[in-house]
Amino acid sequence: MFLSSLTPSLAIFCKVIDNYGDIGICWRLARQLCHEHAAGVTLWVDDLISFKRICPEIDPAAAQQRIQGVTVRHWQDQEGQFHAHDIPDVVIEFFGCELPPDYQRAMAARTPRPVWLNYEGLTAEDWVEGCHRLPSMHPRLRLTKHFYFPGFNARTGGLLHEAGLEARRHAFQHEPAAVMAFLARFGVTAAEAVGRKVSLFCYPGAPVTALFGTWCSGATPTLCLVPEGVAPEQVAAFLGAAPVAGASATHGRLTVRVLPFLPQDDYDLLLWACDVNVVRGEDSWVRAQWAGRPFVWHIYPQDDNLHHKKLRAFLAVYAQQAPALAAYMLGWNGAQPLHDHAAAWNALESVLPDIAAQADAWRQSVLAKGDLVTQLLDFVRDLRLAQENSV
Ligand code: TRH
């Protein structure tokens, strides 16, 4: 039996730099590997408190726990003694987080040595196509790490998309009673649910007050659902009260409701239940692409406005046929002035049905070569095969 034909065991290392996106992505990756490929997965996470916000089953005090089939280990520091037999077939570090030195030594001592991947951040920029799957030799140990870049085309590593997701989304969106039952959990009334529903998840600095003003005086009744902690100052100003879960207020044609921060699977339902989603970072951005509804993306801000380059690269592949969407997203991210917020929103609003109609074609084109986990396991198989042939 060749190793390359067996489902590998894996370890994923995640350092939560800021917010939830990093653990959000690693948690999806771990669950999909475990549930769809029967892989033994250990997820090492440094920040269990952030993890608990998206996965309430997590016990932040536990050094090791098993959640939904995945072994979760608290990655407390760079110390610790490891042995070759502690190392699985594949080690994935998320976003170049540095593995404990003794863990690396144990990786080099293992026979055969593990496949080592650096799972990188998502961008539509061209340069990733030249870097996806590139090897990098360890400066001292007999180890090679390979870069794995998620992406939107066949020259990159794909996007996370679990089996059955599309069927679940379709069933939910075609069952008005299920949508209403979900929204009612947060106090949404049937009358509120008839109008346009928008979810709002953004970084500080987004022109939320101007958007609220546009919706207040717009023609369409709008219900904006905001998870607790998002745009707290602007939401508090609108409510005239603390922006805590359960709070709501209506001014003009806009109702704003604060939701609790949702478990990750419920957040998908929120995206599916809304007509438009404002999302941010990486993971909610990808999930909005699978929701089949138009979205506005707030990209994670970087020094020297590097993020504007990334935003433009995405808009060039995603919004070529929708200039009003591109213009609104550039304005929302401060990449170009949004002099007249209402005019920019109204222009976008008039093409929302066309944008929604493109969602299926976009999903199919991104998934043409398969989902990320399938492609990642193919790459692992290739590397293990090459290793076997070189022995
Ligand atoms: O948390 P983020 O701002 O994450 C970002 C990005 O990952 C970015 O690449 C990284 O560099 C930066 O952090 C430091 O946004 P993101 O990626 O959308 O992740 C949010 C996660 O939280 C996602 O998994 C969805 C989840 N979520 C919930 O589970 N419940 C909620 O109510 C909300 C609003 C989000």
Could you list the pLDDT tens digit for every one of the 391 residues in the chain?
556 667 899 999 999 977 777 999 999 999 999 999 999 999 999 999 999 999 999 999 999 999 999 999 999 999 999 999 999 999 999 998 999 999 999 999 999 999 999 999 999 999 999 999 999 999 999 999 999 999 999 999 999 999 999 999 999 999 999 999 999 999 999 999 999 999 999 999 999 999 999 999 999 999 999 999 999 999 999 999 999 999 999 999 999 999 999 999 999 999 999 999 999 999 999 999 999 999 999 999 999 999 999 999 999 999 999 999 999 999 999 999 999 999 999 999 999 999 999 999 999 999 999 999 999 999 999 999 998 888 6
Q: At what angle do helices 176-184 and 165-173 cross, to 10 degrees?
A: 90
Q: Could you tell me if 299 and 333 are in contact, meaning their C-beta atoms sit under 8 angstroms apart? A: yes
Given 46, 192, 268, 282, the catalytic residue = 282
Query: What is the distance between the alpha carbons of residues 77 and 74, in angstroms, rounded to a whole number?
Result: 9
Query: CA-CA-CA-CA torsion for 195, 224, 58, 91, nearest 10 degrees?
Result: 100
Ligand 1 atom nearest the C-alpha of 121 is 9
Around ligand 1, the residues with Cβ closer than 6 Å are 17-22, 24, 54, 121, 201, 227, 261-262, 264, 267, 280-285, 300
Backbone angles phi, psi at 80, to 5 degrees: 105, 150
Ligand 1 atom nearest the C-alpha of 54 is 29
Backbone angles phi, psi at 164, to 5 degrees: 85, -5
Closest residue by CA, ligand 1 atom 24: 24
Ligand 1 atom nearest the C-alpha of 23 is 24
Query: What is the distance between the alpha carbons of residues 70 and 179, in angstroms, rounded to a whole number?
Result: 30
Largest Cα separation within the chain, whole Å, is 72
The CATH number of domain 165-364 is 3.40.190: no
Convert the pLDDT of each residue in 286-337 to its tens digit: 999 999 999 999 999 999 999 999 999 999 999 999 999 999 999 999 999 9
Q: Long-range contacts: 76-84, Cβ < 8 Å, 24+? A: 76/46, 82/106, 83/109, 84/109, 84/110, 84/111
| Ligand 1 centroid, distance to 202 Cα (angstroms) | 10
Q: Which residue, among 187, 183, 161, has the nearest Cα to 173 in the 3D structure? A: 183
Q: Is 282 a catalytic residue?
A: yes
Query: What is the distance between the alpha carbons of residues 63 and 341, in angstroms, rounded to a whole number?
Result: 49
Given 22, 47, 268, 371, the catalytic residue = 22
| Ligand 1 centroid, distance to 20 Cα (angstroms) | 4
pLDDT at 3: 62
pLDDT at 189: 96
Mutation probe of ligand 1 site: the residue of 14, 258, 271, 282 with most atoms within 8 A of C-beta:
282
What residues does CATH 3.40.50 cover in the chain? 2-160+371-386, 165-364
| Ligand 1 centroid, distance to 108 Cα (angstroms) | 34
Query: What is the distance between the alpha carbons of residues 311 and 293, in angstroms, rounded to a whole number?
Result: 19
pLDDT at 390: 83
* Pick among 3.30.70, 2.30.30, 3.40.50, 2.60.120: CATH of 2-160+371-386: 3.40.50
- CA distances 141 to 104, 106, 133, 290, 384, Å, are 8, 10, 20, 41, 19
Ligand 1 atom nearest the C-alpha of 270 is 32
DSSP state of 162: -
DSSP state of 274: -
Q: Which two tokens stand for residue 274?
A: 């809304």
pLDDT at 314: 98
